[in-house]
Amino acid sequence: MTTPNTAAAAPTLSEDAAAVVLETRGLTRNFGGLVAVNAVSLRFLSGQTHAVIGPNGAGKSTLVNLLTGHLPVTRGEILFKGRTITNLPAHRVSQLGIGRSYQKTNIFPAFSCFENCRLAAQSRLSTSMRFVRPALAYHTVNEKAQAALEACGLARHRDRAAGTISYGEQRQLEIGMVLATDPQLLVLDEPLAGMGVEESEMLIGLLKRLASRYTVILVEHDMDAVFSLADVLTVMVNGTVLESGPVDMVRASQAVQDAYLGDGEEAY
């Protein structure tokens, strides 16, 4: 079994402290007696798409929630560009430039698609404690929202209520909202969950475009998508890192094969 630190030995980038965007050190989270994330130490490098896979209950979602401040950490540290962000509340993490999407579609269904993105873009105003001028009169915010809407391919649904577009489009909107917050790092939590075939293909296209422009942490179930998108792959099982490294290496690993197909020795 390789150590998690092999992630840093990715082929495309040398290990350079400056290139480490996000790092976890011994990150641990307990729920009662259950250790959902257990001493996870990972490095996420600038410009890379780093996928995290693993069976249900492996701790992927908990990891995302810890990285983005949605859950407090039990033990360990999280560093963003060298500064600790451990246990910062979610809104502060977001303001630092870590944008996340959610596994379960998490939008404002009654608002128009544009308003969803506009609200996201508005979060980058110095403050939203502005009471008099209409929100729609802030043109830079509008432009950012429109750009995000176009980037996620929903410009044609600009004025439709987000709850009325198709499920796949809602997943796209979810990503559009993240883009509208000008993130430096994207944390995408199962962006393909529950999508149809054509919808998946469309979204994978979108993710590919994003992968070339952003540093991405991608938590996903869909193997095809992961293999076609990721530079680095981390496999989690039972809250711990089973393997981490370049995609092809991890893919060939026996331990990973077993985690997915069973170890065959499970005589009963």
Stretch of residues binding another protein (CB under 8 A), selected from 9-17, 79-87, 99-107, 207-215: 99-107
- Centre a 10 Å sphere on the Cβ of residue 234 and count the other Cβ atoms it contains: 26
Contact 63, 94 (CB under 8 A): no
Selected from 19, 39, 79, 135, the binder of another protein by CB under 8 A is: 135
Measured distance CA(201)–CA(187) in Å, rounded: 20
Beta bridge partners of 244: 234
Is 88 strand, coil or helix? coil
Closest CA relative to residue 191, chosen from 162, 217, 153 = 217
Binding residues among 229-268 for another protein as defined by CB under 8 A: 238, 251, 256-257, 260-264, 266-268
Please name the helix (run of DSSP H) or strand (run of DSSP E) that holds residue 22, with its range, or none.
Answer: strand 20-31
Is 160 strand, coil or helix? coil
Closer of 106 and 228 to another protein (Cβ): 106
Q: Mask: binding to another protein, 136-175, rule CB under 8 A, as x and -?
A: x-x--------------------xx--xx-xx--------
Closer of 43 and 101 to another protein (Cβ): 101
Which residues of this protein are in contact with another protein, per CB under 8 A? 32-34, 55-58, 68, 70, 89-91, 94-95, 100, 102, 106-111, 115, 118-120, 122-125, 128-136, 138, 159-160, 163-164, 166-167, 177, 181, 193-197, 221-223, 238, 251, 256-257, 260-264, 266-268
